[in-house]
């Protein structure tokens, strides 16, 4: 037995960790186990990838099977990291349809959480780029599924948090790009309604996301920077961009130990936020070119950044709110966060579109992600935020979650009954069970 956490380093739970090295060994790892779940690279924040009894790491299943540069299709084993896919295909003029905020996610995990990127409003989630996948079902059989082959199973598996079976292999669609550079524009927004308007106006952009200063309050509430981006065309590259496809760099610095819990307080985060806002606001309007790596994965530049929140870990609270209710609900949430003071290092606002999976998180509206170091009063504070989310018709992202109540969850996911009935059919004995599944009655 060993203890495992997600990326948030909270909660810390006991499980048996097994690590098959070949596809053929995965079946054995799942057979006869009760309370088992697959785990990718452990980048879900909470308890999604920790089995109640056993956790099967698929990280060793990281072999790429084939790549067709003509059609832009790549087939990989599910433990392959998205960063490795980028390293393989970007020099040949391709890029994943969807990338999240870190390149250290496995392809299997990306499907199971139906992750989204800065282009969700235009291109949908990761699941929308999955052409087909091989799934190991709870009964030990292996099936192929795609949007047209066993479509019900496909819709339950995309975003299904590994609860329909273990994803073994997938073929994903890539998009052609002319360079590894992004043309970025930064627009400062003075308050919440202007950032929301700026994101609405940014619908035309391929990538859009806003960074909120969570310590700003009063008439500055929601003060933000909006980042828009496009893949740079070859004819947009200047002499500074001599290397057409710059490599994704490794971390430039790393957090070697847990920060003491007092490091992040109103003062330090406030100073950081103000400087960050000022530096970026200076670049207003004029587009500039950055490599894809730091554009999409800024925090990958800091190894083990999850340690800055201290030994007790942290919780990321990410909700999505429908367009009609978003502004008032976001205002209320941000006010509470500003009042609380012990703030979020990272507060990201972005627009989402509809999605594929029955339990996929994205739906049309605005999503807000906030980090909170774990403290004694955090659970009750977050329960308060969840009430606002439910009231507004919103929901929380399972890949980030470790806190929400079953009622909050059930209120947010209308396809839940359909998912549960597929689960009952595939896994009548409930052999696949993560801590998240038990907590939320999945």
Q: Which residues bind other proteins (CB under 8 A)?
A: 19, 21-22, 63-67, 74, 76, 84, 87-88, 92
Minimum separation from the CB atom of position 274 to other proteins (A): 39
Minimum separation from the CB atom of position 56 to other proteins (A): 15
User: Of 67 and 272, which has the nearer Cβ to other proteins?
Assistant: 67
User: Of 171 and 316, which has the nearer Cβ to other proteins?
Assistant: 171
Minimum separation from the CB atom of position 378 to other proteins (A): 33
Give the 3-state DSSP-derived string for 114-129, with helices as H, strands as E and coil as C: CCCCCCHHHHCCHHHH
User: Of 4 and 232, which has the nearer Cβ to other proteins?
Assistant: 4
What's the rounded Cα separation, in Å, for the pair 222 and 349? 10
What's the rounded Cα separation, in Å, for the pair 395 and 337? 18
User: Of 22 and 252, which has the nearer Cβ to other proteins?
Assistant: 22
Buried b (16+ CB within 10 A) or exposed e, 313-344: bbbbbbbbbeeebbbebbbbbbeebbebebbb
Instruction: Note the Cα 276 to chain centre separation in Å.
Output: 23
Asked if 347 contacts 212 with a C-beta cutoff of 8 angstroms, the reply is: yes
Minimum separation from the CB atom of position 307 to other proteins (A): 17
Minimum separation from the CB atom of position 139 to other proteins (A): 25
Please list the residues that pair with 232 across neighbouring strands: none
User: Of 29 and 426, which has the nearer Cβ to other proteins?
Assistant: 29
Concatenated DSSP letters of 242-267: -SSSPPPP--SEE--SPPPTTSSSHH
Task: Extract the tokens encoding 173.
Answer: 């669609």
Task: Extract the tokens encoding 207.
Answer: 């990538």
Place of tokens 């970025």: 184
User: Of 61 and 209, which has the nearer Cβ to other proteins?
Assistant: 61
Minimum separation from the CB atom of position 64 to other proteins (A): 4
What's the rounded Cα separation, in Å, for the pair 198 and 71? 35
């Amino acid at each position: 037995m060993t203890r495992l956490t997600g990326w948030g380093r909270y909660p810390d739970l006991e499980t048996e960790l097994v690590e098959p090295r070949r596809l053929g060994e995965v079946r054995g790892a799942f057979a006869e186990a009760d309370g088992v779940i697959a785990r990718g690279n452990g980048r879900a924040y909470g308890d999604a990838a920790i089995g109640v009894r056993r956790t099967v790491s698929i990280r060793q299943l990281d072999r790429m099977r084939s790549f067709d540069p003509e059609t832009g299709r790549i087939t990989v084993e599910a433990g392959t990291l998205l960063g490795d896919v980028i390293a393989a295909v970007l020099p040949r003029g391709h890029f994943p349809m969807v990338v999240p905020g870190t390149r250290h996610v496995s392809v299997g995990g990306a499907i199971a959480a139906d992750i989204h990127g800065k282009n969700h409003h235009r291109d949908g989630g990761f699941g929308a780029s999955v052409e087909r996948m091989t799934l190991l079902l709870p009964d030990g059989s292996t099936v192929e599924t795609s949007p047209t082959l066993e479509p019900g199973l496909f819709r339950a598996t995309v975003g299904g948090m590994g609860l329909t079976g273990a994803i073994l292999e997938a073929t994903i669609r890539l998009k052609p790009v002319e360079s590894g550079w992004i043309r970025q524009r930064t627009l400062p927004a003075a308050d919440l309604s202007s950032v929301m308007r700026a994101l609405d106006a940014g619908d035309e952009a391929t990538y859009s996301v806003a960074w909120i200063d969570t310590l700003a309050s009063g008439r500055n509430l929601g003060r933000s920077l909006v980042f828009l981006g496009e893949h740079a065309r070859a004819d947009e590259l200047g002499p500074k961009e001599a290397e057409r496809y710059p490599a994704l760099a490794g971390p430039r610095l790393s957090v070697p130990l847990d920060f003491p819990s007092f490091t992040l307080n109103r003062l330090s985060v406030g100073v950081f936020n103000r400087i960050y806002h000022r530096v970026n606001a200076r670049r207003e309007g004029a587009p500039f070119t950055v490599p894809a790596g730091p554009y999409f994965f800024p925090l990958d530049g800091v190894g083990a950044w999850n340690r800055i929140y201290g030994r007790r870990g942290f919780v990321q609270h990410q909700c999505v709110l429908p367009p009609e209710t978003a502004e008032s609900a976001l205002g209320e949430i941000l006010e509470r966060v500003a009042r609380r003071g012990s703030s979020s290092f990272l507060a990201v606002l972005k627009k989402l579109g509809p999605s594929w999976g029955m339990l996929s998180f994205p739906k049309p509206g605005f999503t807000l992600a906030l980090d909170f170091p774990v403290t004694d009063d955090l659970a009750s504070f977050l329960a308060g935020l969840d009430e606002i989310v439910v009231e507004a018709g919103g929901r929380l992202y399972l890949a980030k979650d470790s806190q929400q109540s079953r009622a909050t969850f059930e209120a947010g996911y209308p396809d839940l009954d359909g998912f549960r009935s597929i689960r009952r059919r595939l896994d009548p004995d409930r052999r696949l069970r993560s801590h998240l599944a038990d907590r939320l009655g999945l």
